[in-house]
Structure 1
Amino acid sequence: MRYLHIENARLIDPSQNLDQVTDVYVAEGRIHAIGHKPATGGIEHSIDASGLLLVPGLIDLGAHLAEPGFTHKGSIASETRAACASGFTHVCALPDTKPVADSPAVIQLIQEKAAKAGFAKVLPLGALTQGLAGEQLASMFSLSEAGCVALSNARAPFKDSYVLRRVMEYAATYDIPVFLNPDDAALSDGGCMHEGPTATRLGLTGIPQTAETIALAQMLLLVEQTGVRAHISQISCARSVRMLAQAREQGIRVSADTPLANLIYTDEAVTGYNSQFNVQPPLRSESDRQALLAAVNAGELAISSNHRPHEVAAKKAPFADAEPGMSIFDGFLPLALRLVECGELELSALIRATSTLPAEVLGQNQSLSEGNWFNAALIDPAAEQSFRRSTLLSKGRNSPVAGKTLKGAVNAVFIDGRKVFG
């Protein structure tokens, strides 16, 4: 047996409470030994990982990959390549494509294109309702059988609470996980940023925190009633953090994530009407940002990308009319490491929130232990990257790192032992 030998890497795996400099031996896609040379076999290839971090591959719980239907914004190949550049080995693809991912045929198309691209693995999220219209249930069991890891209605609203309840009951019957975005459409309708002093000063219509918390309260009550396996996607405010903590204390089975942008930026970033920061959910206040960071550090929240690539024209309109979203795969890793460098986020918490917790949500084993598939990223935290708009890997031109130089770069990414990046 011939081994890939990774030497002197700082292996960090929060699922095992590991943080140590060691050697790793990989063969036939799996980890065969950690910290000692296998008794038999030879070395086929060695990587000197001195000064590098070896971490479980990152898993994204929600990204817009644009394809099928919006190839002028991005493609599965371009966006999964950009995801690999930040250490992602798996990406959950949201169902708001065109056509909507509400049939096994669309799911098969997505899987085939992802396999052909050969970068990060794409984990499809099927639609909860037909056409994401929020009225008729999609063929949920068929979508699950077709390979969907969970079902979601993205940010499209449900017609009413009865439909939401029926969705949860059906999913619970077949033990299908559901991803739910808390947003009361009546309260957020017409809003384009956080409702607060900044919105008032700029004369922009705000989205109140209650648009999220009222919807979240309804969802938590129905999760408790139906017993469905639920994940709350993209929370943005402190009150939501407290509500989720109380729900868990009451025995409600629920996990949650927050977008990276909401950990970095606040509504103050909108000053100057910079449409780059027109995102959904909106960027909230500094106190909300600090509450989200505290929850991530405590291991209560995963971090998602909420990646949504756009062409230049989509962001050229006035702020309120610009298409919401941020293309963040290219700079995800250095932006996240900047939170570590400034002391707001612990390194182990970052890795836990981007690999261990998402793996638990999806029922996957992503740990770097002997016998497991080698899904991992080698990261150089000291390397500098210059992000020129012309060299971004994502097709999205709405990147917050364009024109900037940031510390932190991926040296290599491995999926099932195969080097797919670097």
Structure 2
Amino acid sequence: MTRNPEQPLLLHQVQLLEAEGAGLRRCDVLIQAGRLMAIGGDAAAQATACGAQVLDAQAWLLAPPLVDPHSELEDPATGSAESLASLERSALAAGYGTVALLPRASSWRDRPERLQGLTPLGRLQLLLWGSFSHGASGADLAPHGDQLAAGAIGLAEADQIPPLALLERGLSLGECGDAPVLLLPRDASLSQGGFMREGVEALRAGWPTDPSISETLPLQNLLAMARRHPQRRVQLMNLSTEGGVALLRDLPAEQRPEATVCWWHLLADSGSLDPIAEGWRVVPPLGTPADRQALQQALADGVLTAVAVHHQALDAEEQLLPLDQRKPGVAGHRFVLPCLWQELVLKRGWSAEQLWRALCFAPARLLGLAPPSLSLGSDQWVVFDPSCRWEPRNDSWGPQAANQPAATGTLTGQVLASGLIPELRRWSVSPA
């Protein structure tokens, strides 16, 4: 049933995850005007005093909002594939409170003035990565210090490693200071024009293949650069292969750079995805079943740091192009939590705290943010129901993008409410 968002609510015996390392516990939580007013203790007494509606929340999880360390938005104002308004709305409804945008845009965000003017309409925390080189051309350095002074959280490049000479120059000059430098270990010249990792499954399907060396060789170079410049904070973006994971595992933990993995690479591979399904065309490409299993295990072990949405929206016209001619990418913040809950918590036995570490606590550290937590008076909370079944095609909170790989069928697990988007209230159970 739909309820007045201003009506006080007592979540009776909800599963509470207050902060990293706190562990799950059950307690009553009072929410009023979208803010946490009481946790445990006298929450029930306060609820009675203010006439709160009591909901049986034993199957729900209350935790801090999720953090997306990198996604893309090419045309924030008038984009036909996605605008800032549609991205903000869908990300908040999916349980995300923070989204960091890479510099790729119709006007590449590589100068201080291009980092201004992107202001969300609501309560989404929008962060911007600056650019390592001008327009990701790899020809010359963008003004690192000026971008950071203008508010960039760090520096990032496009969809491959910059030339090593330029990378060495930028790290040696040191204008980036201790800000993160996020780089994709990929050499497009080694990809052979393929869009699926080489393997038995790709050969059987007849897809053009991309050898794993297009990731492992540039990764070796990036690791060498990180060792050469230990004072710089080199981060790795979207690791995708078993070989790449092995290279990171071989390093002592204190020498291992932080690294992200795209949520889609944790869920799909060349042996599990239907040949006509959405989601084949991504950069880096989908790997083999062994690649996917290695990525999942590396995330569980802490070899990989955090999960990124890496939202890349395409419009309906672009989506009509043949697979080998359209832009790469998948879209949809709303699929990440329910799909990874099914895959990692239910199938692989992860705890809720492990998943929140990968989707919230670790991404916040990667971006240099304060540790997310629940606190009294705050609107920084989400309620997730792992057992709620829903159909994305009937959900009005989705993004504009046409390339949503899990948009058909039924999903299990949904964000019911968030303090950051008061109009979202999917309370649909009987009162306690």
TM-score of the two chains, using structure 1 as the length reference: 0.88
Question: 1:262 maps to what in 2?
Answer: 265
Does the aligned pair in 1 maintain the 2:161–2:218 contact within 8 Å? Answer: no
Q: Distance in 1 between matches of 2:277 and 2:375?
A: 48
Q: 1:344-383 counterparts in 2 under 5 A?
A: 345-370=350-375, 374-383=379-388
Percent identity between the two aligned chains: 27
* 1:94 and 2:102 are equivalent in the alignment: yes
Does the aligned pair in 2 maintain the 1:133–1:157 contact within 8 Å? Answer: no
1:257 to partner: Cα distance: 1.3
1:112-161, Cα deviation, whole Å (9 max, x unpaired): 2x2x2x15221111111111111211111221122221210131441x21
SS of the aligned residue for 1:254 comes to coil
SS of the aligned residue for 2:246 comes to helix
Does the aligned pair in 2 maintain the 1:168–1:223 contact within 8 Å? Answer: no
Q: Which runs of 5+ in 1 are unaligned?
A: none
Does the aligned pair in 2 maintain the 1:119–1:420 contact within 8 Å? Answer: no
1:164 to partner: Cα distance: 1.1
Question: 2:311 maps to what in 1?
Answer: 307
Does the aligned pair in 2 maintain the 1:293–1:344 contact within 8 Å? Answer: no
1:314 to partner: Cα distance: 1.8
Q: 1:214-253 counterparts in 2 under 5 A?
A: 214-227=217-230, 228-249=232-253, 251-252=254-255
SS of the aligned residue for 1:15 comes to coil
Q: Distance in 2 between matches of 1:181 and 1:401?
A: 25
1:259 to partner: Cα distance: 0.8
Q: Which runs of 5+ in 2 are unaligned?
A: 1-7, 426-432
* 1:108 and 2:116 are equivalent in the alignment: yes
Question: 1:407 maps to what in 2?
Answer: 412
1:235 to partner: Cα distance: 0.4
CA 1:7–1:154: 2 relative to 1, 3 Å:
farther
SS of the aligned residue for 1:321 comes to coil
CA 1:402–1:166: 2 relative to 1, 3 Å:
same
Greater alpha carbon shift after TM alignment, 216-225 vs 369-378 = 369-378
SS of the aligned residue for 1:81 comes to helix
Question: 2:142 maps to what in 1?
Answer: 138
Q: Distance in 2 between matches of 1:164 and 1:29?
A: 46
Question: 2:59 maps to what in 1?
Answer: 51
Residue identity matched to 1:262: H
CA 1:207–1:406: 2 relative to 1, 3 Å:
same
CA 1:367–1:28: 2 relative to 1, 3 Å:
farther
Residue identity matched to 2:223: L
CA 1:70–1:171: 2 relative to 1, 3 Å:
farther
1:370 to partner: Cα distance: 4.4
RMSD of Structure 2 on Structure 1 (CA):
3.0
Give the structure with the larger helix fraction. 1
* 1:205 and 2:213 are equivalent in the alignment: no
Q: Distance in 1 between matches of 2:423 and 2:141?
A: 37
CA 1:371–1:16: 2 relative to 1, 3 Å:
farther
1:354 to partner: Cα distance: 0.2
Q: For 2:336, which of 329, 332, 338 is the aligned residue? A: 332
CA 1:191–1:345: 2 relative to 1, 3 Å:
farther
Does the aligned pair in 2 maintain the 1:299–1:349 contact within 8 Å? Answer: no
Question: 2:177 maps to what in 1?
Answer: 174
Does the aligned pair in 2 maintain the 1:9–1:50 contact within 8 Å? Answer: yes
Q: Distance in 1 between matches of 2:98 and 2:351?
A: 23
1:303 to partner: Cα distance: 1.0
Question: 1:83 maps to what in 2?
Answer: 91
Residue identity matched to 1:222: M
Q: Distance in 2 between matches of 1:241 and 1:221?
A: 16
1:163 to partner: Cα distance: 0.6
1:391 to partner: Cα distance: 4.2
CA 1:107–1:246: 2 relative to 1, 3 Å:
same
1:197 to partner: Cα distance: 2.4
State how many pairs are aligned: 413
Question: 2:301 maps to what in 1?
Answer: 298
1:50-100, Cα deviation, whole Å (9 max, x unpaired): 421011211011111232487011011111211122211101111110100
Q: Distance in 1 between matches of 2:351 and 2:203?
A: 35
Q: Distance in 2 between matches of 1:26 and 1:225?
A: 51
Does the aligned pair in 1 maintain the 2:148–2:176 contact within 8 Å? Answer: no
* 1:148 and 2:156 are equivalent in the alignment: no
CA 1:273–1:27: 2 relative to 1, 3 Å:
closer
Question: 1:193 maps to what in 2?
Answer: 196
Q: Distance in 2 between matches of 1:421 and 1:172?
A: 43
CA 1:231–1:190: 2 relative to 1, 3 Å:
same
Does the aligned pair in 1 maintain the 2:35–2:419 contact within 8 Å? Answer: no
